[in-house]
Structure 1
């Protein structure tokens, strides 16, 4: 896995701009979970079982939030959402998620992934203005600064990650970018899918995060 991570380049230094998140706002800490509609994702959880629960919930009503602590849990949850999206294709339902930090200390990898369902749309073009590869050593807040800057430029952006730590870093970057974009009255949601990335003569499995920008 480390060899695969090494093939992913980080955001160029000239694009690496860290930002300061607003001290107030709805995004830094998770929204209310008092309804009890959530699932706790285990680091050793069965990905397909979690995906099945998410897909079943989407067909029946509201999709539960996924609570994650640590890179392994985040990775399981993201893969489960990606698989659930394939399960729901025949139902013309699609899923996206928004990460919210469960602690004011955003360096802690404790997240709630809020999953939303909607009608399946035409496939999003795989040709993006900016594709940002994320590696195991990428700094989420720095990546988030570059991501927010591209969104302000109204460019289409996607993230690509190979490996557990890279996937976790991508999700943390999206969570931080949501904070940075609050002042612009914009928000983002992500649609994860599996892709193959060709690097150095090898085809590697990766997770691609297509991003949808919303005005708030």
Structure 2
């Protein structure tokens, strides 16, 4: 499977944006093709930010932002966010995250990778699909802003 290697918040943010753009174009093909991503960190996630974003082909995934989406900000604890993701996965519900900015994107990617670890005993394979979405930004007086929306996907082995 192809993968994208990225190191550091800026590079990971750009890699995720590149995947979102590629995904958009592939969904316009006939027949449409989707891309899902599994993040694999090379070292300890507490201090490291070297990630291999393993790509695979998928049938089209339809997931739009909702009020129930989780979010990641600069100061979000990726371990707590991973626990929330794993909890929703175990409950069988849809899981999605909405975020913007290099550090929050790193937090989101780390949290999804950690959720994979947290659910590994249940034989769950955790991946994500990412897309751009324009949403109102409450920190900017509800003016429109472009976010990255991560749809968390689970396969049961």
TM-score, structure 1 normalization: 0.66
1:163 correspondence with 2:104: no
Q: Distance in 2 between matches of 1:118 and 1:133?
A: 25
- Which residue in the other structure is 2:151 paired with? 210
1:17-96 matched pairs, under 5 angstroms: 64-89=2-27, 90-91=29-30, 92-96=32-36
Q: Distance in 2 between matches of 1:84 and 1:175?
A: 21
Q: Secondary structure at the match of 2:69?
A: strand
| CA displacement, residues 50-100 of structure 1 (integer Å, 9 cap, x when unaligned) | xxxxxxxxxxxx5x2111111011101100100001121214211010001
Q: Distance in 2 between matches of 1:163 and 1:73?
A: 11
**Contact residue 129 and residue 156 of structure 1 kept, 8 A:** no
Please point out which of 115, 121, 125 is paired with 1:183. 121
**Contact residue 96 and residue 117 of structure 1 kept, 8 A:** yes
Q: Distance in 2 between matches of 1:213 and 1:136?
A: 26
In the TM superposition, residue 175 of structure 1 has moved relative to its aligned partner by 0.6
TM-score, structure 2 normalization: 0.89
In structure 1, runs of 5+ residues without a counterpart are 1-61
| CA displacement, residues 149-204 of structure 1 (integer Å, 9 cap, x when unaligned) | 11101110100011111111100110111000101211211000001121232111
In the TM superposition, residue 211 of structure 1 has moved relative to its aligned partner by 1.4
**Contact residue 128 and residue 157 of structure 1 kept, 8 A:** no
- Which residue in the other structure is 1:99 paired with? 39
Q: Distance in 1 between matches of 2:114 and 2:20?
A: 21
Computing the radius of gyration from Cα coordinates, the structure with the larger value is: 1
Structural RMSD (CA): 1.6
Q: Distance in 2 between matches of 1:195 and 1:127?
A: 8
Please point out which of 51, 64, 74 is paired with 1:111. 51
**Contact residue 41 and residue 51 of structure 2 kept, 8 A:** yes
- Which residue in the other structure is 2:79 paired with? 141
